[in-house]
Amino acid sequence: MGDCMGEQHLFDELRIGSLRARNRFVRAATYEGAADTDGHITPEVMRIYRELAHGGVGTIITSFAYVRDDGYHPSRMMGLDRDELVPAWRELVACVHEAGAAIVAQIAYCGAGAGKGPFAAPALGASDGTSPDGTREVRAMTRDDMDAMAADFAAAARRAQVAGCDGVEIHGAHGYLLSQFLNPVWNHREDEYGGSIENRMRFPLEVARAVRAAVGETFPVLVKINSSDGVEGGMTEDESLQVSEALAAYVDAIEVSGTTYGKVKISGPDGQHGLYASYAAALAERVDIPVILTGGNRLCAEMQELLDTTGIAGFGLARPLASEPDLIAHWERDAGYEPRCVSCSRCFPGPGRNCVLDRP
Protein backbone atom coordinates (compact mmCIF):
# COMPACT_ATOMS: atom_id res chain seq x y z
CA MET A 1 0.00 0.00 0.00
CA GLY A 2 1.12 3.56 -0.55
CA ASP A 3 1.12 6.03 2.35
CA CYS A 4 -1.71 5.20 4.72
CA MET A 5 -4.67 7.47 4.55
CA GLY A 6 -5.22 9.84 7.46
CA GLU A 7 -3.80 13.10 8.71
CA GLN A 8 -1.50 14.11 5.93
CA HIS A 9 -0.64 17.44 4.47
CA LEU A 10 0.75 18.69 1.18
CA PHE A 11 3.60 20.34 3.08
CA ASP A 12 4.60 17.13 4.85
CA GLU A 13 7.93 15.59 4.00
CA LEU A 14 7.87 13.32 0.94
CA ARG A 15 10.01 10.20 1.28
CA ILE A 16 11.26 8.36 -1.77
CA GLY A 17 13.59 5.62 -0.56
CA SER A 18 16.39 7.54 1.16
CA LEU A 19 15.31 10.88 -0.38
CA ARG A 20 13.67 13.33 2.00
CA ALA A 21 11.90 16.25 0.31
CA ARG A 22 10.53 19.24 2.20
CA ASN A 23 7.02 18.81 0.79
CA ARG A 24 4.92 16.62 -1.48
CA PHE A 25 5.16 18.91 -4.51
CA VAL A 26 7.34 17.72 -7.35
CA ARG A 27 8.36 19.72 -10.37
CA ALA A 28 7.53 17.30 -13.18
CA ALA A 29 10.17 17.12 -15.91
CA THR A 30 9.81 20.02 -18.33
CA TYR A 31 12.06 20.42 -21.36
CA GLU A 32 13.64 23.86 -21.22
CA GLY A 33 15.79 23.90 -24.38
CA ALA A 34 18.40 25.85 -22.45
CA ALA A 35 21.43 23.53 -22.63
CA ASP A 36 24.02 24.21 -25.32
CA THR A 37 23.98 22.23 -28.55
CA ASP A 38 26.27 19.57 -27.01
CA GLY A 39 24.05 18.97 -23.99
CA HIS A 40 26.10 21.07 -21.54
CA ILE A 41 24.37 22.88 -18.70
CA THR A 42 24.43 26.64 -19.31
CA PRO A 43 23.97 29.66 -17.03
CA GLU A 44 20.36 29.80 -18.29
CA VAL A 45 19.73 26.23 -17.04
CA MET A 46 21.24 27.20 -13.69
CA ARG A 47 18.99 30.25 -13.50
CA ILE A 48 15.83 28.21 -14.19
CA TYR A 49 16.63 25.60 -11.53
CA ARG A 50 17.75 28.18 -8.96
CA GLU A 51 14.44 30.00 -9.43
CA LEU A 52 12.45 26.78 -9.07
CA ALA A 53 14.32 25.72 -5.93
CA HIS A 54 13.87 29.12 -4.32
CA GLY A 55 10.18 28.95 -5.28
CA GLY A 56 9.52 26.30 -2.65
CA VAL A 57 9.03 23.04 -4.57
CA GLY A 58 10.25 19.97 -2.66
CA THR A 59 11.73 17.94 -5.48
CA ILE A 60 12.78 19.02 -8.96
CA ILE A 61 12.78 16.40 -11.67
CA THR A 62 15.03 17.70 -14.42
CA SER A 63 13.97 17.87 -18.04
CA PHE A 64 14.77 14.66 -19.88
CA ALA A 65 18.52 14.19 -20.36
CA TYR A 66 19.70 11.93 -23.17
CA VAL A 67 21.61 8.75 -22.44
CA ARG A 68 23.04 8.50 -26.00
CA ASP A 69 23.82 11.29 -28.37
CA ASP A 70 21.63 9.84 -31.14
CA GLY A 71 18.72 9.75 -28.70
CA TYR A 72 17.99 13.35 -28.15
CA HIS A 73 14.86 14.89 -29.43
CA PRO A 74 14.47 18.64 -29.26
CA SER A 75 17.53 20.77 -29.62
CA ARG A 76 19.37 22.09 -26.59
CA MET A 77 18.31 19.18 -24.43
CA MET A 78 20.62 18.35 -21.51
CA GLY A 79 22.90 15.32 -21.79
CA LEU A 80 24.08 12.67 -19.34
CA ASP A 81 25.75 10.53 -21.97
CA ARG A 82 29.39 11.26 -21.09
CA ASP A 83 31.55 11.89 -18.06
CA GLU A 84 32.70 15.37 -19.08
CA LEU A 85 29.16 16.65 -18.37
CA VAL A 86 29.26 15.63 -14.71
CA PRO A 87 31.07 18.68 -13.18
CA ALA A 88 28.37 21.08 -14.44
CA TRP A 89 25.66 18.75 -13.12
CA ARG A 90 27.44 18.90 -9.78
CA GLU A 91 27.13 22.70 -9.83
CA LEU A 92 23.45 22.42 -10.72
CA VAL A 93 22.86 20.06 -7.82
CA ALA A 94 24.66 22.39 -5.40
CA CYS A 95 22.59 25.36 -6.51
CA VAL A 96 19.32 23.45 -6.00
CA HIS A 97 20.41 22.06 -2.62
CA GLU A 98 21.43 25.49 -1.44
CA ALA A 99 17.79 26.55 -1.78
CA GLY A 100 16.52 23.49 0.09
CA ALA A 101 15.10 21.42 -2.78
CA ALA A 102 15.99 17.91 -3.91
CA ILE A 103 16.91 17.17 -7.52
CA VAL A 104 16.26 14.01 -9.53
CA ALA A 105 17.74 13.60 -13.02
CA GLN A 106 15.35 12.26 -15.64
CA ILE A 107 17.07 10.06 -18.24
CA ALA A 108 15.67 9.16 -21.65
CA TYR A 109 16.24 7.87 -25.13
CA CYS A 110 13.73 9.58 -27.38
CA GLY A 111 14.44 7.36 -30.36
CA ALA A 112 11.53 7.29 -32.75
CA GLY A 113 9.97 10.12 -30.76
CA ALA A 114 12.71 12.25 -32.23
CA GLY A 115 12.48 13.76 -35.64
CA LYS A 116 15.35 13.53 -38.10
CA GLY A 117 17.40 16.33 -36.57
CA PRO A 118 21.06 16.09 -37.55
CA PHE A 119 21.03 12.28 -37.58
CA ALA A 120 21.96 10.20 -40.59
CA ALA A 121 21.47 6.82 -38.90
CA PRO A 122 18.02 5.47 -38.07
CA ALA A 123 16.72 5.87 -34.53
CA LEU A 124 16.57 2.70 -32.46
CA GLY A 125 13.08 1.54 -31.60
CA ALA A 126 10.95 -1.43 -30.71
CA SER A 127 10.12 -2.11 -34.37
CA ASP A 128 11.00 -0.87 -37.84
CA GLY A 129 9.08 2.21 -38.89
CA THR A 130 9.33 5.97 -39.08
CA SER A 131 9.22 8.71 -36.49
CA PRO A 132 5.77 10.22 -35.79
CA ASP A 133 6.68 13.25 -37.90
CA GLY A 134 7.68 10.90 -40.72
CA THR A 135 11.20 12.29 -41.06
CA ARG A 136 13.40 9.65 -39.45
CA GLU A 137 13.73 5.97 -40.10
CA VAL A 138 13.44 3.72 -37.07
CA ARG A 139 15.22 0.39 -36.83
CA ALA A 140 14.08 -2.46 -34.59
CA MET A 141 16.60 -3.12 -31.85
CA THR A 142 18.57 -6.35 -31.78
CA ARG A 143 19.43 -8.18 -28.59
CA ASP A 144 22.90 -6.53 -28.67
CA ASP A 145 21.30 -3.08 -29.12
CA MET A 146 19.12 -3.72 -26.08
CA ASP A 147 22.08 -4.72 -23.92
CA ALA A 148 23.98 -1.63 -25.03
CA MET A 149 20.99 0.64 -24.43
CA ALA A 150 20.39 -0.76 -20.93
CA ALA A 151 24.09 -0.14 -20.22
CA ASP A 152 23.73 3.44 -21.49
CA PHE A 153 20.78 4.09 -19.18
CA ALA A 154 22.77 2.57 -16.32
CA ALA A 155 25.85 4.69 -17.05
CA ALA A 156 23.75 7.87 -17.25
CA ALA A 157 22.10 7.02 -13.92
CA ARG A 158 25.49 6.46 -12.36
CA ARG A 159 26.66 9.89 -13.64
CA ALA A 160 23.63 11.49 -11.99
CA GLN A 161 24.57 9.73 -8.76
CA VAL A 162 28.22 10.81 -9.01
CA ALA A 163 27.05 14.38 -9.63
CA GLY A 164 25.22 14.30 -6.28
CA CYS A 165 21.64 14.13 -7.55
CA ASP A 166 19.13 12.86 -4.99
CA GLY A 167 17.80 10.30 -7.41
CA VAL A 168 17.29 9.37 -11.03
CA GLU A 169 14.07 8.94 -12.95
CA ILE A 170 13.81 6.54 -15.88
CA HIS A 171 11.54 8.04 -18.54
CA GLY A 172 9.19 5.19 -19.37
CA ALA A 173 6.30 7.33 -20.61
CA HIS A 174 5.07 9.49 -23.49
CA GLY A 175 6.01 7.32 -26.47
CA TYR A 176 9.77 7.50 -26.04
CA LEU A 177 11.83 4.32 -26.31
CA LEU A 178 10.70 2.36 -23.24
CA SER A 179 7.11 3.42 -23.75
CA GLN A 180 7.32 2.26 -27.38
CA PHE A 181 8.12 -1.23 -26.20
CA LEU A 182 5.00 -1.16 -24.02
CA ASN A 183 2.74 0.18 -26.77
CA PRO A 184 1.46 -2.33 -29.35
CA VAL A 185 0.97 0.51 -31.82
CA TRP A 186 4.75 0.81 -31.94
CA ASN A 187 5.83 -2.67 -30.87
CA HIS A 188 5.18 -5.30 -33.56
CA ARG A 189 7.89 -7.68 -32.46
CA GLU A 190 7.36 -11.39 -32.71
CA ASP A 191 10.10 -12.38 -30.29
CA GLU A 192 9.97 -12.46 -26.48
CA TYR A 193 9.84 -8.62 -26.42
CA GLY A 194 6.54 -8.28 -28.27
CA GLY A 195 2.98 -9.53 -28.05
CA SER A 196 1.76 -10.07 -24.49
CA ILE A 197 2.25 -7.37 -21.88
CA GLU A 198 4.65 -9.73 -20.09
CA ASN A 199 6.81 -9.66 -23.23
CA ARG A 200 6.39 -5.95 -23.96
CA MET A 201 7.52 -4.99 -20.46
CA ARG A 202 10.62 -7.19 -20.65
CA PHE A 203 12.97 -4.52 -22.01
CA PRO A 204 11.80 -1.69 -19.71
CA LEU A 205 12.34 -4.10 -16.80
CA GLU A 206 15.83 -4.93 -18.07
CA VAL A 207 16.63 -1.21 -18.13
CA ALA A 208 15.29 -0.71 -14.61
CA ARG A 209 17.31 -3.70 -13.39
CA ALA A 210 20.49 -2.37 -15.05
CA VAL A 211 19.97 1.08 -13.52
CA ARG A 212 19.41 -0.41 -10.08
CA ALA A 213 22.54 -2.54 -10.39
CA ALA A 214 24.58 0.53 -11.41
CA VAL A 215 23.49 2.81 -8.55
CA GLY A 216 23.14 0.26 -5.74
CA GLU A 217 20.24 -0.52 -3.45
CA THR A 218 20.00 2.78 -1.57
CA PHE A 219 20.08 5.41 -4.33
CA PRO A 220 16.53 6.53 -5.16
CA VAL A 221 15.33 5.37 -8.57
CA LEU A 222 11.98 6.55 -9.94
CA VAL A 223 10.16 5.68 -13.13
CA LYS A 224 7.63 7.73 -15.07
CA ILE A 225 4.97 5.59 -16.67
CA ASN A 226 1.86 6.09 -18.79
CA SER A 227 -1.33 5.15 -16.98
CA SER A 228 -2.44 4.30 -20.50
CA ASP A 229 -1.07 5.41 -23.84
CA GLY A 230 -4.19 7.40 -24.64
CA VAL A 231 -4.23 6.09 -28.22
CA GLU A 232 -6.36 3.44 -29.84
CA GLY A 233 -4.60 0.09 -29.62
CA GLY A 234 -2.06 1.39 -27.07
CA MET A 235 -1.27 0.01 -23.63
CA THR A 236 -4.37 -0.12 -21.44
CA GLU A 237 -4.70 0.87 -17.79
CA ASP A 238 -4.93 -2.76 -16.72
CA GLU A 239 -1.73 -3.56 -18.58
CA SER A 240 -0.03 -0.49 -17.16
CA LEU A 241 -0.91 -1.58 -13.62
CA GLN A 242 0.85 -4.88 -14.30
CA VAL A 243 3.91 -3.05 -15.64
CA SER A 244 4.04 -0.71 -12.65
CA GLU A 245 3.75 -3.59 -10.20
CA ALA A 246 6.64 -5.36 -11.93
CA LEU A 247 8.76 -2.18 -12.02
CA ALA A 248 8.17 -1.68 -8.29
CA ALA A 249 10.69 -4.46 -7.66
CA TYR A 250 13.46 -2.15 -8.92
CA VAL A 251 12.35 1.41 -8.19
CA ASP A 252 11.55 3.57 -5.16
CA ALA A 253 8.64 5.55 -6.62
CA ILE A 254 6.39 5.62 -9.67
CA GLU A 255 5.33 8.86 -11.33
CA VAL A 256 2.06 8.45 -13.20
CA SER A 257 1.47 10.25 -16.48
CA GLY A 258 -0.20 9.48 -19.82
CA THR A 259 -0.15 10.34 -23.54
CA THR A 260 2.03 9.47 -26.51
CA TYR A 261 4.32 11.89 -28.30
CA GLY A 262 3.28 12.63 -31.85
CA LYS A 263 -0.25 11.32 -31.24
CA VAL A 264 -1.57 13.06 -28.13
CA LYS A 265 -0.23 16.24 -26.52
CA ILE A 266 2.22 15.24 -23.79
CA SER A 267 0.74 17.87 -21.53
CA GLY A 268 -2.61 16.04 -21.74
CA PRO A 269 -6.00 17.45 -22.67
CA ASP A 270 -6.19 21.22 -22.32
CA GLY A 271 -7.82 22.74 -19.28
CA GLN A 272 -8.56 19.52 -17.36
CA HIS A 273 -7.66 18.90 -13.73
CA GLY A 274 -6.55 15.72 -11.97
CA LEU A 275 -5.67 13.67 -15.06
CA TYR A 276 -4.90 10.01 -14.30
CA ALA A 277 -5.96 10.33 -10.62
CA SER A 278 -8.09 7.18 -10.59
CA TYR A 279 -5.26 5.13 -12.06
CA ALA A 280 -2.76 6.56 -9.55
CA ALA A 281 -5.13 5.79 -6.67
CA ALA A 282 -5.55 2.21 -7.90
CA LEU A 283 -1.80 1.83 -8.28
CA ALA A 284 -1.16 3.16 -4.77
CA GLU A 285 -3.35 0.31 -3.48
CA ARG A 286 -1.17 -2.22 -5.26
CA VAL A 287 2.41 -1.13 -4.59
CA ASP A 288 4.24 -0.32 -1.37
CA ILE A 289 6.29 2.55 -2.78
CA PRO A 290 5.19 6.18 -3.21
CA VAL A 291 3.03 7.03 -6.21
CA ILE A 292 3.34 10.54 -7.64
CA LEU A 293 0.48 11.86 -9.74
CA THR A 294 1.35 14.27 -12.56
CA GLY A 295 -1.09 15.96 -14.94
CA GLY A 296 -3.52 18.78 -14.30
CA ASN A 297 -2.70 19.29 -10.62
CA ARG A 298 -3.87 22.84 -10.16
CA LEU A 299 -5.60 23.42 -6.82
CA CYS A 300 -4.41 22.62 -3.30
CA ALA A 301 -7.93 21.63 -2.28
CA GLU A 302 -8.09 18.99 -5.04
CA MET A 303 -4.68 17.59 -4.17
CA GLN A 304 -5.43 17.60 -0.45
CA GLU A 305 -8.60 15.65 -1.13
CA LEU A 306 -6.63 13.04 -3.06
CA LEU A 307 -4.16 12.89 -0.20
CA ASP A 308 -7.00 12.38 2.27
CA THR A 309 -8.86 9.75 0.28
CA THR A 310 -6.22 7.79 -1.67
CA GLY A 311 -2.70 6.48 -1.16
CA ILE A 312 -1.17 8.97 -3.63
CA ALA A 313 1.92 10.43 -1.93
CA GLY A 314 3.16 13.22 -4.19
CA PHE A 315 1.96 15.66 -6.84
CA GLY A 316 3.89 16.60 -9.97
CA LEU A 317 3.43 19.93 -11.72
CA ALA A 318 4.98 20.96 -15.02
CA ARG A 319 3.15 23.85 -16.71
CA PRO A 320 2.09 25.71 -13.55
CA LEU A 321 5.73 25.88 -12.44
CA ALA A 322 6.86 26.95 -15.90
CA SER A 323 4.46 29.83 -15.53
CA GLU A 324 5.07 30.56 -11.83
CA PRO A 325 8.26 28.99 -10.46
CA ASP A 326 7.36 30.32 -7.00
CA LEU A 327 3.86 28.80 -6.99
CA ILE A 328 4.60 26.49 -4.05
CA ALA A 329 5.73 29.41 -1.90
CA HIS A 330 2.43 31.14 -2.79
CA TRP A 331 0.54 28.02 -1.68
CA GLU A 332 2.49 27.82 1.56
CA ARG A 333 1.25 31.31 2.40
CA ASP A 334 -2.25 30.85 0.98
CA ALA A 335 -3.52 27.37 0.07
CA GLY A 336 -6.44 28.98 -1.76
CA TYR A 337 -4.20 30.78 -4.24
CA GLU A 338 -5.25 30.01 -7.84
CA PRO A 339 -2.32 29.51 -10.19
CA ARG A 340 -2.32 31.67 -13.27
CA CYS A 341 -1.63 28.71 -15.62
CA VAL A 342 -4.82 27.96 -17.55
CA SER A 343 -3.47 24.71 -19.05
CA CYS A 344 -3.75 26.05 -22.61
CA SER A 345 -0.58 24.13 -23.61
CA ARG A 346 0.64 26.93 -25.79
CA CYS A 347 4.03 26.41 -24.13
CA PHE A 348 4.13 22.90 -25.63
CA PRO A 349 6.22 21.35 -27.25
CA GLY A 350 8.53 23.80 -25.56
CA PRO A 351 10.80 25.12 -24.52
CA GLY A 352 8.80 25.02 -21.32
CA ARG A 353 10.22 28.20 -19.87
CA ASN A 354 8.04 30.52 -21.92
CA CYS A 355 4.51 30.84 -20.66
CA VAL A 356 2.41 32.73 -23.20
CA LEU A 357 1.28 34.96 -20.37
CA ASP A 358 4.84 36.30 -20.23
CA ARG A 359 5.12 36.92 -23.94
CA PRO A 360 4.73 40.44 -25.25
Binding site for ligand FMN (CB under 6 A): 28-31, 63-64, 106, 171, 173-174, 224, 257, 266-268, 294-297, 317-320, 347-348, 350, 352
Considering the complex, what minimum distance in angstroms separates the CB of residue 194 from ligand SF4? 36
| 174 interacts with ligand SF4 by CB under 6 A | no
Half-sphere exposure of 87 (CA within 13 A, CB side): 1
Hey, how many other C-beta atoms are within 10 angstroms of the C-beta on 11? 17
- 246, 207 contact by CB (below 8 A): no
- Nearest to 207, CA basis, from 224, 187, 183: 224
Q: Which does 350 bind (CB under 5 to 8 A by kind): ligand FMN, ligand SF4, none?
A: ligand FMN
| 357 interacts with ligand SF4 by CB under 6 A | yes
Considering the complex, what minimum distance in angstroms separates the CB of residue 38 from ligand FMN? 18
Considering the complex, what minimum distance in angstroms separates the CB of residue 79 from ligand FMN? 13
Distance of CA 358 to the CA centre of its chain: 25
Considering the complex, what minimum distance in angstroms separates the CB of residue 192 from ligand FMN? 27
DSSP 324: -
Among 138, 177, 283, 347, binds ligand SF4 (CB under 6 A): 347
| 264 interacts with ligand SF4 by CB under 6 A | no
| 342 interacts with ligand SF4 by CB under 6 A | yes
Q: Which does 295 bind (CB under 5 to 8 A by kind): ligand SF4, ligand FMN, none?
A: ligand FMN
Considering the complex, what minimum distance in angstroms separates the CB of residue 6 from ligand FMN? 26
Active-site annotation holder among 176, 250, 261, 279 = 176
CA pair distance 105, 338, nearest whole angstrom:
29
Site for ligand SF4 in 280-339 (CB under 6 A): 319, 322-323
Q: Which does 344 bind (CB under 5 to 8 A by kind): ligand FMN, ligand SF4, none?
A: ligand SF4
Q: Which residue intervals of 163-216 are DSSP H helices?
A: 177-182, 197-200, 202-215
Report in angstroms the alpha-carbon separations of 99 from 22, 29, 54: 11, 19, 5
Among 65, 341, 351, 353, binds ligand SF4 (CB under 6 A): 341
- Nearest to 31, CA basis, from 359, 357, 356, 349: 349
Q: What is the DSSP string of 22-69?
A: SSSEEE-------S-TTS---HHHHHHHHHHHHTT-SEEEPPPEESST
Q: Is 176 a catalytic residue?
A: yes
Active site residues: 176
